[in-house]
Amino acid sequence: MIVTLIIICEVGFWVLLAAGLALRYWAKMPRASVAVLLCEPLLEVVLFVVTAIDLKNGAEPDWKHGLAAVYIGYSIALGHYTIKWVDVRVAHRFAGGPAPVTPKYGMARAVHEWKLAARWVLAAVIAMALLQGAIQYVGPDGETSSLEEWQAKMLFVIGINVIIAGAYTLFPKRAPKNETAAADRERELAGR
């Protein structure tokens, strides 16, 4: 049941996102769009409540409950970022909005990667806290090894994201010479 609900929540996330963006850009109804997009967090609340009820009714905690915690952590920490990421691209592609800007080189890219890593770390910490709450709820007599395995996986997620961001900091990618020259010319022309 939990896996089905996770799938429903994930599909619901993308359906609500598509509906919200369609209302904003095609139907020209920005208020309705905001109302639809504000329904996104309700999916996580439903998933959290159903997972808690499942555990309360005596279900043995397993990988499904761990996956629910991870999904909730992702949605809380990265849901808004994901919505904004998609919104900028849809606005550019279908509504004449500005092109998405993601830094590609140097310290600007490193800062971008650290911000993204911070979101992933927050998602992992939220998931680990939910998992710890489930472990304590089940108590020492219950089988909680699958939940503890999910906590270890979240530590791995934290480590990978810190390594990636650190690599962009220690070994910043340099812009090709032709792009650097073009950027210098643009700055020179803008200064006139």
SS (H, E, C) the chain: CHHHHHHHHHHHHHHHHHHHHHHHHCCCCHHHHHHHHCCHHHHHHHHHHHHHHHHHCCCCCCHHHHHHHHHHHHHHHHHHHHHHHHHHHHHHHHHCCCCCCCCCCHHHHHHHHHHHHHHHHHHHHHHHHHHHHHHHHHCCCCCCHHHHHHHHHHHHHHHHHHHHHHHHHHCCCCCCHHHHHHHHHHHHHHHC
pLDDT at position 179 over 90: no
Average pLDDT over residues 62-67: 88
pLDDT at position 1 over 80: no
Average pLDDT over residues 33-44: 90
Q: Categorize the per-residue pLDDT at 50 as very low, low, confident or very high, splitting at 50, 70 and 90.
A: confident
pLDDT at position 24 over 70: yes
Query: Residue 74: what pLDDT?
Result: 94
Query: Residue 189: what pLDDT?
Result: 58
Mean pLDDT over each residue of the chain, to the nearest integer? 89
Q: Considering the entire predicted model, what is its pTM? A: 0.82
Query: Residue 190: what pLDDT?
Result: 56
Domain boundaries, the chain: 2-191
Query: Residue 23: what pLDDT?
Result: 95
